[in-house]
Structure 1
Amino acid sequence: MENKIVKVFLLHFAGGSSYSFDFLRPFLPNCFEFIPLELPGRGKRIGEELIKNKEVAIEDYVKQIKLLHEGVPFIIFGHSMGADLGFYVTKELEKSFLFPEYLFVSGNPGPQKEAHDLKNQKSKKTRYKLSDDDLKEELRKIGGMPEEVLQDDDIFDFFKPIIRADFQVLEDENTLSKDIVIKSPIHAFMGDEEEHASRIDNWKNHTLSSFNSSLFKGNHFFIYDYPENISVIIKKALSNVLISS
């Protein structure tokens, strides 16, 4: 059996699961061990209770990575909600002297932007409290969910509690600082049609290591259109690890 050199831990977006990154799997070479993680209440963890608290979600991911990393070099890749949680997960891992070779954050302008937004809003946006119709419109705006799912009440009713729980994770008040800095390098991806794409470089304020960013044509779910490009960037970023191994 071929030895794996780098483990790739993938953290899904709101409403996603361990299957959300299947589109990327064929484009990563065999030297990368593809490990899509997921929060409870969906996919392979459908029988578990949904998490609605950010700190608890972070703790869940940290436990998974500590169990699975096995002393092998690893990276974390998170899209949207996964990018937000991945940042805090990385900080918690670093406290235990576990340092990802890279944190890849996608579809998210970073914690500094989140803090900036909250200071300039009269009330915090709480999408998890929207009516079903308004929630559907919000999901249409974001993209990533097939229209047939939104049109089919039975299918939507299945996904609805998962999506609401994930939005609550992101939107409820928590005690986490927006000003933390990690030691691991960051590479940020965004679609150029995303609302806050121009603020992608905010991420550079949250690492003591190197920072790079890439803008792709597209909306919030641009990642589905560029799996090969993303895999090339990941391989290039990990070239030193691959050579030394």
Structure 2
Amino acid sequence: MIQLFLLHFAGGSIYSFDFLKQYISKDVQVIPLELPGRGKRFEEPALKTKKETIQDYVRQITLMRNKAPYCIYGHSMGATLGLSVAHKMQKLGDQPLYLIVSGNAGPGVSYDEDDPEKQKKKRYLMNDKEFKEELRELGGVPEEVLLNEELYSFFMPIMRSDFEVLEKDDYSEEGIQLQVPIYAIMGTEEKTSAQIDNWRRFTLSSFKYKILEGNHFFIYEQCKELSDIIKNCYEEQLQPFVL
């Protein structure tokens, strides 16, 4: 049985990939991971640095690993962190079959490249008005959450801490090179989709990519296509071992 570890996007939780589970083969053990400060780990303090989040994910994966091959899939924030997590696992001698990333053109590419003034602003330090507009632009956050002060007050600290993780050390991945293949996926409406090839720099193995119809959260509309890509990735790597 293949293990598939899922790394959620900013503001996400262990439930963020529930929409995908029905499309994944029963032969795959789907394991959504979760960072502190949300979901089942709500009572734990949120992490504020990449180093802490990467260590947390590596610890989770190490504890849940069996002898089966595995893949890592991360969306948006999960894609960025997934690169470092895969690299750490590689150093531990237990590298994944594949790193699959989506909603992200990879480290070193700024989401706001076309707006120099906006690049200077750290999202986790924005005032509430700016922060809400940023979340609207990214999509994925229901409008009712942004309009309801009680819901927003609950959700906002999680989002801010996740952006802080990404923005305090926004290119710590420079120099990382995996020995495993990377498959990158982005939506047609994402600002940086034309730079998806940036991911190629982070692997000594093969690199593939695909642009699917949709915005930053195209994954919700492209469930079947996404699951097929994941399946093709692990089957491709397992092929040499199948007699």
Structure 2: where are the runs of 5+ without partners?
A: none
Paired letter, 1:41: G
- Deviation of 1:180 (Å): 1.3
The aligned residue for residue 137 of structure 1 is 133
The aligned residue for residue 169 of structure 2 is 173
TM-score scaled by length of structure 1: 0.92
Are residues 1:191 and 2:183 paired? no
Matched residue SS, 1:84: helix
Take 1:110 and 1:47, find their aligned partners in 2: how far apart are those partners?
31
**Aligned mate of 1:102, from 69, 80, 98:** 98
8 Å contact 1:55–1:174 — kept in the other structure? no
**Aligned mate of 2:123, from 121, 124, 127:** 127
Pairs within 5 Å for 1:82-101: 82-101=78-97
The CA deviation string for residues 90-109 of structure 1, in whole angstroms up to 9 with x for no partner, is 11110001110110010111
8 Å contact 1:17–1:38 — kept in the other structure? yes
Are residues 1:220 and 2:216 paired? yes
Matched residue SS, 2:210: strand
- Deviation of 1:238 (Å): 1.6
**Aligned mate of 1:66, from 62, 66, 74:** 62
**Aligned mate of 2:44, from 38, 45, 48:** 48
Q: Do the aligned partners of residues 137 and 116 (structure 1) sit closer, same or farther apart at CA in structure 2, a change above 3 Å counting? A: closer
- Deviation of 1:115 (Å): 11
Structure 1: where are the runs of 5+ without partners?
A: none
The aligned residue for residue 242 of structure 2 is 244
8 Å contact 1:115–1:178 — kept in the other structure? no
TM-score scaled by length of structure 2: 0.93
Take 2:198 and 2:112, find their aligned partners in 1: how far apart are those partners?
11
8 Å contact 2:9–2:76 — kept in the other structure? yes
The aligned residue for residue 234 of structure 1 is 230
- Aligned-residue Cα RMSD (Å) equals 2.0
Take 1:90 and 1:173, find their aligned partners in 2: how far apart are those partners?
18
The aligned residue for residue 111 of structure 1 is 107
Take 1:175 and 1:233, find their aligned partners in 2: how far apart are those partners?
27
Q: How many residues align?
A: 239
Take 1:92 and 1:199, find their aligned partners in 2: how far apart are those partners?
25
Identity %: 47
Are residues 1:163 and 2:159 paired? yes
Take 2:69 and 2:2, find their aligned partners in 1: how far apart are those partners?
5
Pairs within 5 Å for 1:23-42: 23-42=19-38
- Deviation of 1:170 (Å): 0.3
Moved more, 209-218 or 168-177: 168-177
8 Å contact 1:191–1:216 — kept in the other structure? yes
Matched residue SS, 2:5: strand
- Deviation of 1:124 (Å): 3.9
Matched residue SS, 1:23: helix
